[in-house]
Amino acid sequence: TRDENPLLTFNPHRLLPSLEYGVYLNKPCPDLDNICVYKPRLFATHVPYASLPTSIKDSDCKIVYMCRNPMDMFISFWHFRDMLRVESKELLSLHKAFDKFCHGIYAHGPFFEHVLGYWKASQENPNKVLFLKYEDLKEDISCQLMHLAMFLGVPFTEDEKKGGVVEEIANICSFEKLKELEVNKNGSSQSNGIPYKVFFRKGKVGDWSNCVTPSMVERLEKLIQEKLNNSGLTFKLSCKTSKP
């Protein structure tokens, strides 16, 4: 029932365990059969597609890749790292962090190589890899939810659509709803102690424009042109689309 939805009492990261930050962190051979409460099992990862083991690539498991436009992602992660920073450590300045980002020095590998790996995989095998953009979800969540359900092999029935099930899921999974839940305001991760509240800042598209300089924007747009050229992948930095 609606009141029994696990998202109301558990942080999303608890329900979707991370392979590298949770499952395998202290256990080289974890019990994968019993590590997830729900079936089929759901896992999260930041690993680039090229680094995924063949046991994943050649299996029947579905891969859903979620990305965000590079500028919003960069600003969000910069704030995230600041919230996790110990007081004795100085914050890396925005300009220095941006320079590292543009040179591919970034957590989980260079941004553009990361997204292009999954983008190309989704183009080559669309039944295996679904490539989603955060901006598209914010723009039309219901359409994207139906697309996701179809990809996973559990499409919504006509009765569910008419009964408002899609809208109900969209509401309970929304950034605004999750941010205000008690578990996400005061809870913390069991594996690393990170407060759940640091995962919920603004969740807005285009908020980067309040933080960066025109020269940074120009540099990133040139980088997008260079890295995504002829790939077919585009990003919406705000209300406009940045095309390679």
pLDDT digits (tens, 9 = 90+) for 104-144: 988 888 999 999 999 999 999 999 999 999 999 999 999 99
Q: In the annotation, is 79 catalytic?
A: no
Cβ count near 49 (within 10 Å)? 20
pLDDT computed for residue 241 by the predictor = 42
Q: Kindly report, residue by residue over 191-206, the tens digit of the pLDDT.
A: 667 777 777 677 777 7
Of 46, 95, 103, 108, which is the active-site residue?
A: 46
Question: What does the block give as tokens for 48?
Answer: 């680039």
Share of the chain above pLDDT 90, in %: 39
Q: Are the C-beta atoms of residues 130 and 151 closer than 8 Å to each other?
A: yes
pLDDT of residue 39: 81
**Rounded alpha-carbon distances, angstroms, from residue 106 to 33, 53, 89, 95:** 33, 22, 18, 14
Report yes or no: 241 and 224 within 8 Å, Cβ to Cβ: no
pTM of the predicted protein model: 0.85
Contact between residue 101 and residue 111 where contact means Cβ atoms under 8 Å apart? yes
